[in-house]
Amino acid sequence: MPSPIPVTRLLPRDFGLKVGVCSSPLTKHSGDASLRVPVSKFHGKLVCRLWSSVIHWRELCDLEPIGSGGFGFVFKATYFGETVAVKRVKCAKNKLASRQSFWAELNAAHLQHENLVRVIAASTQANGDDLSGASGDSVIGTIVMEYAGDVNLQQVIYSAAEQLRPESCVRYAVDVARALRHLHAHGIVHLDLKPANVIVSRAGVCKLADFGCSFKVELVHDRAASARRMEIGGTYTHRAPELLRGEDVTPGADVYSFGVTLWQLITREPPYEGERQHILYAVVAFNLRPDLNKHVFSPAGPGCRFKELLRRCWSAEPSQRPSAGQLLKELSEFPS
């Protein structure tokens, strides 16, 4: 099916002019059953600046399943001799949401930043014979990404033997805020920021991953795009109240999620307990937020400063929340 997404939204301006076969449904040549798109000058060099719209399947080998979910499957693999992660997006019951999730994964594909997981290549081709271990579900597309690390921030938070030190919390939070600042500067909101979507490298650097719920702010007044966004949703414990009400997307939604993530870093507890629908209602109607009366937020030490920052991140009014740049400035002023 031809993609409803314009070519200019997917391909960088300086994409190479060579043409090669790929399943990405951007242009179709008459008399040819193959779907073709411009191909970048990507010939075995993973350090290239731009992502490729062609996956060189013969170079993708040694696939090892490392995760699965409603979206599909994730593999660890080798691509042109380098370790990568491969995400195979399957067609779920809601086909529209599945397709939109795949294309949303590419919203930030043209960006390169040390705190963002980089996209290397993507295709609507599955090449399922090579992705062993997956089910027989139909596939929307495949994405090859840098392999950023073996653990995510969720595992760091909840598997540690002891409480994370305040300076560690600040260091992780700064990395995430840097990722948000770069995204927001390019008009992209993540919309599913949570510890499980932050990869921690062996060097201890956080990289924001999983853009399946992301959204381009320029489309906020596009009714069709907004409707597709509502199909995807996000993680309810981290979702801003204005999004639960179906209101417009702003970067403030990510700042709200950042606050919940920072709270988890500090407390090492789940944000809420209880039934999902009760929590959603309380967040919207009664300004329910994670508990700020815990001992870690005592007036002595950095707890008080964290508490004040979290309160502003969780403001019911998105315009009252700090920007990602302001978050960075304030976090840099925390005592080391």
Q: How far is CA 209 from CA 85, 108, 110, in A?
A: 11, 10, 14
What is the location of CATH 3.30.200.20 in the chain? 48-146
pTM, two decimals, is 0.81
List, by residue number, the catalytic residues.
192
The CATH code belonging to domain 151-333 is: 1.10.510.10
pLDDT tens string 126-157? 665 445 444 456 788 999 999 999 999 999 99
Alpha helices, DSSP H, located in 44-115: 95-104
What is the location of CATH 1.10.510.10 in the chain? 151-333
| H or E stretch at 309 | helix 303-313
Binding residues for ATP: 87
Q: How far is CA 37 from CA 7, 23, 103, 270, in A?
A: 9, 8, 15, 45
Q: What's the rounded Cα separation, in Å, for the pair 283 and 278? A: 9
Binding residues: 87
Higher pLDDT, 49 or 15: 49
What homologous superfamily does CATH list for 48-146? Phosphorylase Kinase; domain 1 (3.30.200.20)
Rounded to the nearest integer, the mean pLDDT of the chain is: 81
From first CA to last CA, the distance across the chain in angstroms is 54
Residue 52 and residue 29 in contact, taking contact as beta carbons nearer than 8 Å: no
pLDDT tens string 86-122? 999 887 777 777 888 899 999 999 999 999 999 999 9
